[in-house]
Amino acid sequence: MSVLKIEDLQVSVETEQGTKQILRGVDLTVGEGETHAIMGPNGSGKSTLAYAIAGHPKYHVEGGSVTLDGVEMLDKTVDERARAGLFLAMQYPVEIPGVSVSNFLRTAKTAIDGEAPAIRGWIKDLDSSMTALRMDKSFRERNVNEGFSGGEKKRNEILQLELLKPKFAVLDETDSGLDVDALKIVSEGVNRAKENTGLGILLITHYNRILRYVKPDFVHVFVAGRVAEQGGPELAVRLENEGYDRFLESSNVG
């Protein structure tokens, strides 16, 4: 049983106005096969949590720990964390000119597994995942994210999630900017990965919308850099109806 454990995580970033504390002691435990939704208003630190777990150099860890099956992730490099089983589906994936999707995926798969995938099985897996995500075969020869629409970029992220088979994935606003058809396709992909590999998911979102398709086991409300409230799926529904106002008021007072 794999466990991703975040304890008292404190993270800051450098801004023009100096160092700014964003995460102020986050505690979260995600078990294998569990889906945790992280919801919260803009600026509450949701994306910072995602990037800090992945190891983006812009975010400085001031304290706390992130362990995967007891192994500390915070002193590992970005690629070591990925090879240990962490995955981040990004909100704004960058373009990599001159690097084809197929070359990129094969290189990543080889790095994660420590050996090149067997050609036939790999092509088959690639084909079936792309078909399921309604991605045309021509995608393979296109440069990574270059000229992709918003929806194509998100599908490409989920394609990687399916093929790289991480233990835990952080999905950073994967639902934002998607029309309902694309949202369903992307959600199906996430659910497939979960079924096939027992993936644990941290689903960061601003809206309840994706939670109709990817059912959360737990919902955590993020406010001012920490978890302000947690509960079951019913909490998401309540947030949709009431908004985040009551949290913002209490945090302002407190």
Partner 1 sequence: MAADTTATAPAPAPGITEVADRQTAFVPVQTRSGRFTSTSVDDFEAVTGLEFEWKFAPLARVKHLTEAALDGSPVEVHSAEVEGATVGWIDRADARIGSAGTPEERASANAWSSFEKALHIRVTGEEASEVVVRRDSFGEAARSAHVVIEAAPNSRGTVILEQTGEANLSENVEIVVGEGAQLTVVTVQEWDDSARHLSSHFATIGRDANLRHVIVSLGGEVVRVNPAFHLVEQGASVDSFGLYFADAGQYFEQRPYIDHVAANTRSRVNYKGALQGKGAHTVWVGDVLIGPHADGTDSYEQNRNLVLSEGTRADSIPNLEIETGNIVGAGHASSTGRFDDEQLFYLQSRGISEEEARRLVVRGFLAEIISQIGSASLETRLGEAIEAELLRAQAGE
* Total Cβ atoms within 10 A of residue 93: 16
Using the 8-state DSSP alphabet, how is residue 56 labeled?
-
**Is residue 94 part of the contact set for partner 1 (CB under 8 A)?**
yes
DSSP per-residue letters across 86-149: EEEE-SSPPPEEEEEHHHHHHHHHHHHHSSPPPHHHHHHHHHHHHHHTT--GGGGGSEETTT--
Strands 218-223 and 200-205: unpaired
Q: State the nearest-atom distance from the C-beta of 146 to partner 1, in Å.
A: 10
Per rule CB under 8 A, count of chain residues that contact partner 1? 29
Site residues (CB under 8 A) for partner 1, limited to 116-175: 143, 160, 164
For partner 1, give the closer residue by CB, 153 or 194.
153
**Is residue 184 part of the contact set for partner 1 (CB under 8 A)?**
no
**Is residue 111 part of the contact set for partner 1 (CB under 8 A)?**
yes
For partner 1, give the closer residue by CB, 87 or 222.
87
Q: Which of 61, 74, 104, 217 binds partner 1 (CB under 8 A)?
A: 104
**Is residue 90 part of the contact set for partner 1 (CB under 8 A)?**
yes
Written as one letter, the residue type at 176 is: S
- State residue 49 phi and psi, 5-degree precision: -60, -45
* Total Cβ atoms within 10 A of residue 52: 28
Q: Which of 40, 55, 189, 200 binds partner 1 (CB under 8 A)?
A: 55
For partner 1, give the closer residue by CB, 106 or 220.
106
Site of interaction with partner 1 (CB under 8 A) = 54-57, 77-79, 81-83, 87-88, 90, 93-99, 103-104, 107-108, 111-112, 143, 160, 164
